[in-house]
Structure formats: structure tokens, C-alpha cells
């Protein structure tokens, strides 16, 4: 017989997932209730209110899409886009390519603004492309974990308004650890996940939707047979996915409580606790904590003599990419860190695989002890791999940041 689940102790210092906050794990071990139990619907309503605070929005339509972050992205794009719609995607890493891929599957005509990995896109580049393409939707990643870059968003909402486009943002990797202002920045739809700065497991995708975007999505509502009532005349082009049909999902979360999927109760408990943690700490304090520990890790890897990849001025607070020193086998060294110290750091994708490691300081692991332990262990495995490292340089530099 197989053994009960008993995972090895790990300190997850990669680009996510990270160790879940113990409070989130405790919330997730609570007993189930029925999906229309008043306790459950109250939890759903509270979760909506909590995520309005996390996204910094007054949007009524703020709730959870069941599934990992990618489900949130796909729900947003498939509910907004019809075949033939034009979309503009600034691509500055792997997750921009993911937006392209999903929009293409929706049948959209996709245009991109491409910059090299390690850079972000200038608002002027976006505006010129928007003026040329006239897209219905601009879809952009805030923090692209593949490169660690954090795209400035503050000007994009205004650009989209001027050109009558909707603005969608994937904030999976950045929300909770970097400034994010859904309303002040004029975002129409934003989605996230729990497994980065929110300190939870993957499996739930918080989403917020502006009134403009709600109107567009409701204009495509086709309530499914079997629960359809007289008032539910079909409108517009039917959304191509049933499970990710936000028009129906909004009716499930709204006062009508129209049956759709069975809400993933345990994930909702977890997502609610993630938001409670952030709101209790205060969004600004949480961002400041990520900035502090991110800076300590950045100075620490530099103190070891490593080179940081990309435009550091535009780096997310919660992850740093470091160039793997010449002659060092990146995967073998990561393996040694896991084997000898129980610490996980990340590799990267595509052109950066084997070139950089990604080290995260996020959520529950944006902590001084986690940063110092990781730097101390990294020094040892680098030394064992024959890399010239400055003895004590990593921990020393990080301690100076904390001092
Ligand atoms: C920016 C970004 N978007 C989307 C995803 C996909 O998230 P998930 O694996 O939860 O579906 C990730 C995962 O790392 C991410 O970093």
C-alpha cells in the first residue's frame, strides 16, 4: 500500500509556489458545508469583499475562478474575446506568450509589442501599437516571472480609454508584493493566483471585473439549458467555454446564486485566508515587506559575487534572476541545494534556461530567516561547484540591508 502523504521539509525559495502560510493550511483543513449553506454563501460574499481590498477596487464583480491562475487568464480572455476580435499583447517574457496563445485559441487576431527578455515595454510603444492596431483588448502581464520584470501599468489604462480598448492584466506573480491599483490604473479585468505573494497553494484564481467589462460579458450571456428561465434570452455570441463562462459564473457568485459549478470549498477557505492575511497586514505594509526582503536577497546574491539579470530598476520585489556562473551546472547545483539543505530555487524557461536561476522572496517566505538561510546555503553549493564566491559575502550584504 502507498504511504500517507508526508512531503519532505522544504524551503521553497523559487518563483512560486512557495510554502503556504500555516494559517492558510489551517483554514483549508476545515470541514465542508453545502454549496448553498448560509455559512458558505456568507464566506463567498466575504471573499468578494476581501479581494476588492486586495485588488484595490470597488468592482462588484470580484470573486474566485476555480482552477490555477491560468484558469483565471483563460476565463477573462474567453469571456471578452470573440473570433476575429483584435488583441494587443506586450510580450516581455514567457507569460506574455501565454496571453498570445490563449487569445489565439479564442480565435482573436493577435498583435504584439515585443521587447527583449529582461526589459519592460514603454507606454509610448503601447500607445503607438494601440493606435495602429485598434484592439478591442490590450492584455498585459504585470510581473513576468520568467524574467522577473514588473511592467509599469499606471499609464496603460488611460491609453486604453483614449482608444476605446479594454485593459486586461495578469497579476499572478506580482499581486500582494508590488503596488497594484485596479481602479486607479483603469484596469478592466485583472486575475491572479495564490501561490506567489498571497502565501497560499495554487488552485484558485481571484478575479476583478470593471462595470465596462461586465457589460460586455453580460452581452454574451447564454444561460445553459436545464436552469434557464424566461428572463434568460440568449444574447450576443456565446462564450466558447462553459466552465470559464464569466457571464454564468457571475450569476453563481451574485444574488441570484444560479447554479454553475460546485464551488471548490476548500480552495475558497484558503483564498479567503490569504486575503485576510494581506488585509490584516495592510497592502502597503505587505508590499514594503516584499521590497525589503527582495532587496536583501538582491544585495545578498551580489555580495556572493553573482550578477543579476535584467533591468533591476524594473524588477519585481519578490523574485530575482541571477546569472549562473561560468562552468557551473545550474541544474546540478540547484539539485545540491535541494538535497543538502532542503531549499528549492528555480530555473527559467526558453532562452534563459540554464542561464539564470530565479530566487523568490514572497508570501510567507518573504522573511529574514528564509533569506539568510538561502544565501548561506547558496554560498556552500556554489563553492562546491567550483565557483569563486566571496566568503560570508551573501549573508553579510543581506544583514547590512536589514541593519
Ligand atoms: C505571471 C504568471 N502568469 C501565469 C502563471 C500560471 O499560473 P498557474 O500555474 O497557477 O496556472 C504563472 C505561474 O508561474 C505566472 O507567473
pLDDT band at 341 (very low <50, low <70, confident <90, very high): very high
Residues 76 and 196 in one domain: yes
What domain range is 194 assigned to?
Answer: 20-279
pLDDT at residue 29, rounded to an integer: 98
pLDDT band at 278 (very low <50, low <70, confident <90, very high): very high
Residue 87 near ligand 1, beta carbon < 6 Å = no
pLDDT at residue 349, rounded to an integer: 86
Residue 170 near ligand 1, beta carbon < 6 Å = yes
pLDDT, one tens digit per residue, over 50-78 is: 999 999 999 999 999 999 999 999 999 99
3-state secondary structure 143-161: EECCCCEECCCCCHHHHHH
The DSSP bridge partners found for residue 9 are none
Cβ neighbours, 10 Å, residue 217: 24
pLDDT tops 90 at residue 104 = yes
pLDDT at residue 294, rounded to an integer: 98
Residues 262 and 140 in one domain: yes
Report which DSSP code applies to 59. Answer: -
In a domain, 203, yes or no: yes
| Mean per-residue pLDDT, 325-353 | 95
Instruction: Give me ligand 1 centre to Cα 195, in Å.
Output: 9
Residues 235 and 261 in one domain: yes
pLDDT band at 350 (very low <50, low <70, confident <90, very high): confident
Residues 80 and 184 in one domain: yes
The DSSP bridge partners found for residue 149 are 144, 315
User: Ligand 1 pocket check: which of 12, 102, 172, 206 to mutate, most ligand atoms within 8 Å of Cβ?
Assistant: 172
3-state secondary structure 286-330: HHHHHHHHHHHHHHHHHHCCCCECCCHHHECCCEEEEECCCCCCH
Residues 367 and 256 in one domain: no
Residues 170 and 270 in one domain: yes
CATH of residue 35: 3.40.640.10
pLDDT tops 90 at residue 351 = no
CATH of residue 383: 3.90.1150.10
Atom of ligand 1 nearest to the CA of 141: 1
pLDDT tops 90 at residue 176 = yes
pLDDT at residue 3, rounded to an integer: 96
| Mean per-residue pLDDT, 71-87 | 98
* Domain finish residue from 219, 244, 279: 279
Residues 339 and 193 in one domain: no
Amino acid at each position: 500500500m502507498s504511504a500517507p502523504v508526508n512531503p519532505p521539509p522544504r524551503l521553497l525559495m523559487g518563483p512560486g509556489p512557495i510554502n503556504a502560510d500555516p494559517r492558510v493550511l489551517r483554514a483549508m483543513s476545515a470541514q465542508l458545508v453545502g454549496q448553498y449553506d448560509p455559512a458558505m454563501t456568507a464566506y463567498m460574499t466575504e471573499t468578494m469583499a476581501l479581494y476588492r481590498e486586495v485588488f484595490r477596487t470597488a468592482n462588484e464583480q470580484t470573486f474566485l475562478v476555480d482552477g490555477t491562475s491560468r484558469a483565471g487568464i483563460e476565463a477573462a480572455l474567453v469571456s471578452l474575446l470573440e473570433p476575429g476580435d483584435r488583441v494587443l499583447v506586450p510580450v516581455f517574457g514567457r507569460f506574455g506568450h501565454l496571453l498570445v496563445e490563449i487569445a489565439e485559441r479564442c480565435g482573436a487576431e493577435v498583435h504584439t509589442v515585443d521587447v527583449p527578455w529582461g526589459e519592460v515595454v514603454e507606454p509610448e510603444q503601447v500607445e503607438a501599437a494601440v493606435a495602429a492596431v485598434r484592439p478591442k483588448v490590450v492584455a498585459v502581464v504585470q510581473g513576468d516571472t520568467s524574467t522577473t520584470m514588473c511592467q509599469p501599468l499606471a499609464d496603460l489604462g488611460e491609453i486604453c480609454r483614449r482608444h476605446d480598448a479594454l485593459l486586461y492584466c495578469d497579476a499572478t506573480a506580482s499581486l500582494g508584493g508590488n503596488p497594484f491599483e485596479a481602479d486607479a490604473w483603469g484596469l478592466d479585468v485583472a486575475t491572479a493566483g495564490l501561490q506567489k505573494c498571497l502565501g497560499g497553494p495554487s488552485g484558485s484564481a481571484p478575479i476583478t471585473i470593471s462595470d465596462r467589462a461586465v457589460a460586455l460579458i453580460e452581452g454574451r450571456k447564454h444561460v445553459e439549458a436545464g436552469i434557464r428561465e424566461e428572463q434568460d434570452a440568449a444574447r450576443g455570441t456565446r462564450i466558447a467555454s462553459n466552465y470559464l463562462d464569466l457571464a454564468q459564473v457571475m450569476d453563481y457568485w451574485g444574488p441570484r446564486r444560479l447554479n454553475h459549478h460546485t464551488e471548490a470549498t476548500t480552495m475558497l477557505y484558503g483564498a479567503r485566508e490569504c486575503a485576510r492575511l494581506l488585509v490584516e497586514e495592510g497592502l502597503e505594509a505587505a508590499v514594503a515587506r516584499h521590497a525589503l526582503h527582495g532587496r536583501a536577497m538582491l544585495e545578498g546574491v551580489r555580495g556572493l559575487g553573482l550578477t543579476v539579470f535584467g533591468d533591476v530598476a524594473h524588477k519585481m520585489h519578490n523574485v530575482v534572476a541571477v546569472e549562473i556562473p561560468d562552468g557551473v551546472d545550474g541544474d546540478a547545483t540547484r539539485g545540491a541545494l535541494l538535497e543538502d539543505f532542503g531549499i528549492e530555487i528555480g530555473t527559467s524557461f526558453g532562452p534563459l534556461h540554464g542561464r539564470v536561476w530565479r530566487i523568490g522572496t514572497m508570501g510567507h517566505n518573504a522573511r529574514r530567516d528564509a533569506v539568510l538561510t538561502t544565501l548561506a546555503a547558496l554560498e556552500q553549493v556554489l563553492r562546491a561547484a567550483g565557483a569563486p564566491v566571496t566568503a560570508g559575502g551573501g549573508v553579510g550584504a543581506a544583514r547590512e540591508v536589514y541593519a
